[in-house]
Amino acid sequence: MSRIDAKFAALKAEGKKAFVAYVMAGDPDEIRSLGIVKALPAAGVDIIELGLPFTDPMADGQTIQLAGQRALEAGMTLQGTLDLAAKFREEDDTTPIVLMGYYNPIYSRGVDRFLADAKAAGIDGLIVVDLPPEEDDELCIPAQAAGLNFIRLATPTTDDARLPKVLTNTSGFVYYVSITGITGAAEASGADVAPEVARIKAHTDLPVIVGFGVKTPQKAEEIAGIADGTVVGSAIVSEIAKGKSVAEVAAFVKALADGAHRA
């Protein structure tokens, strides 16, 4: 059982929904980024999504694009991201970390080497947004063989014909993207999300977590009440971009987590 599986089992036993927080590794710099990541579990974060900075983040809106640029300009790399995760693991061996990013840096490093290094650093799962199911042999299947969950995105345009293919080889959880388009672009609608979550759940026993467009504690509560949990990314990254302290970012995150946990 992975840390992700164990976390969802524990949440289910407590009757709680999951709160997942996304932050960009190395934003605004390595030291503050590590401080923020270390503060997330105490703020109520159940699973950490750690963004891997990339020069061409096609699925991300301006907020996360700029976070990636800040991280890259501060010297963050794939190795630096894994080192950050390893430093977090020195103090926390239970909170799952999902590495979210694009395939190019992984390919450049070499899949086998990357998977071994990610596992050693304490990474539990991968979300690689530009690898479709047709390319599962490239990374998904090797990742699962190495003991890493491979989490797939489903979107409002994933129809019934496509959904089974998307769910094949998916593990950990399914990430439902509540809106069409890029991150941070619009607000999620519970009325729109509910039937889609139900449709996905009819095809899988995996938890379904909803992200994109969740920016307030009230929205986190609404969306978590419909699904098995919710993800907040751009709203947290925006607070970091404003130069907020670790304590201030943690307080903002706690309010969101409390909302999700009320669901």
Cα(21)–Cα(203) distance, integer angstroms = 26
126: pLDDT strictly greater than 80? yes
pLDDT band at 48 (very low <50, low <70, confident <90, very high): very high
pLDDT band at 57 (very low <50, low <70, confident <90, very high): confident
SS3 state at 16: coil
Pick the CATH number of 3-262 from 3.50.50.60, 3.10.20.70, 3.40.50.10330, 3.20.20.70: 3.20.20.70
Residue percentage of the chain with pLDDT more than 90: 91
Contact 100, 22 (CB under 8 A): yes
Amino acid (one-letter) located at 263 = A
Helix pair 78-89, 111-121: axis angle to 10 deg: 30
Lookup: tokens for 252: 């903002």
What average pLDDT does range 229-249 have in this prediction? 97
pLDDT band at 213 (very low <50, low <70, confident <90, very high): confident
| Catalytic positions, written as ranges | 49, 60
Q: What are phi and psi of 220, to 5 degrees?
A: -60, -40
184: pLDDT strictly greater than 60? no
185: pLDDT strictly greater than 80? no
Q: How many other C-beta atoms can be found within 10 angstroms of the C-beta atom of residue 114? A: 23
List the domain boundaries for the chain. Answer: 3-262
pTM: 0.96
Contact 237, 67 (CB under 8 A): yes
Contact 9, 1 (CB under 8 A): yes
